[in-house]
Structure 1
Amino acid sequence: MTSLLQDRRVLITGGARGLGLAFAETAARAGARVVIADILIDRVQQSARELAEQGLDVSGLALDLADPASIERCVAATADRLGGLDGLVNNASITHSGGKSCEELEIEMFDRVLQVNVRGTWLMTRACLPALRQSGLGAVVNLASDTPLWGAPNLLAYTASKGAVIAMTRSLARELGGDGITVNAIAPGLVEVEATQYVPAARHQLYLDQRALKRAQVPADVCGAVLFALSDLSRFITGQTLPVNGGFVMP
């Protein structure tokens, strides 16, 4: 595993904390050179420094997925820093958008979630395409969610956005297959991270009660799937969505 991504150049959005940070550490320990990008500028720089102090090749950049110019700057800086790009992990998203019914949900929140989670994923992927094409080993990994697979209630904006990411993954896979670029989605369940602390205890209990694997899900549980999707082990797999949720959803 330590050489599974040897010398691969990988950009991970939303890498300041939580799942994105776990993906970054896992990819770097597998031999990748990694850039983590996040709107939390101080946090992403601190996280990158902490990983670099462990001897891992990780650096941090600022990124606002709601701003197309920020996306272009981030990708240009990443390609310059790494000398190209082999893998993109579209992990960044707005998660704290639940707790209200479809009637209570504000239009502004709905628009903001889709702007970042859907449009931002599209624009980030589009900006990375020249470098990914040049790589010859291009891999895009979109972080979806299992919420659209089972229809999570009172989470409409987020669920809709992640359903769109799954659909977009399939379209992108067909469009980019001729360039040798794979595009796959990973759909985690409810992971115990800072970004999900707002989720009510009853929702956590629902997952625990109905998972085939009777324990909490942690970031390490998702890292293997992302590593697989970035590696040569999955070069003939594209357009797929892999639920990683302990058997809560079995499509």
Structure 2
Amino acid sequence: MAYVNNYVAPPATDALAEWEKVKEQVLDPKVAYDLNFCYPVGELENDRVKLTPFVPAIHLKDWFQLSKDHGDLYRFMPFGPFDSEDAVGAWIEQRIHKDPGNVLFIILDKASQKIAGALGVLSTTRERMSTEIGFVMILPEFRRSHVTTNAVGLLFHWLLDDEKDGGLGLNRVQWQAHASNAPSVRAAERLGFRNEGTEKWQRVLVKGKEGREGVKERATFNGVGRDSVVLAICWDEWNDGGRQKVDGMMAYVKHSS
């Protein structure tokens, strides 16, 4: 039996060039921004923080100005730091907007009315009923505060609560951390994620990022390898005490701050 394999790899794209094609429309405040996410999405809030979808016409300039002097935000990220608003816009267009499984949120601190950070809901699939919380970037002023607990807690309720209770009713929410990023692993475990182990050489990062250097025998390897710690919380764990734990943490942070 004859067979063929006609696959042709798609050409590499120039993210900045692609951004220039859509930039004018995306940054026009009179044009509604299409989030292109696979589930209905809106603002999430309690009395401490508000999560609002990242809309470039509203948030791009402010986020770049607030984050540009804090390169540590991107130390363990597979992207950044960025040297211009256009670089941030190009990344959001290519990495977030074009993938219907991804949506990025800005975190607003209600007490100060300041942007406290950003975080994403990633790799979401209806078929698997799963998603990931990632790209968590908290600005220095709001670290070790109520922000992360409340922001992730709001996402938990949206993602894991039953549909009859206003949630999406997903089965699994994942968290991945660079194996060297111990604070991220601790934060996830504190919030109720269970450590499922470390995936070695899980992804390839660009040179200059922290990770494993390539070996001479692998001539095609042109970058840095990343080991990732994978953690998750599932619907049954959420219903079996996880929700109460997170709600208690949110209430405690509120009381103690």
TM range, smaller chain: 0.3 to 0.5
Larger Rg: 2
Q: Which has the higher helix share?
A: 1
Which of structures 1 and 2 has the larger relative contact order (alpha carbons within 8 angstroms, sep 6+)? 1
Given the two structures, how large is their TM-score scaled by the length of structure 1? Answer: 0.34
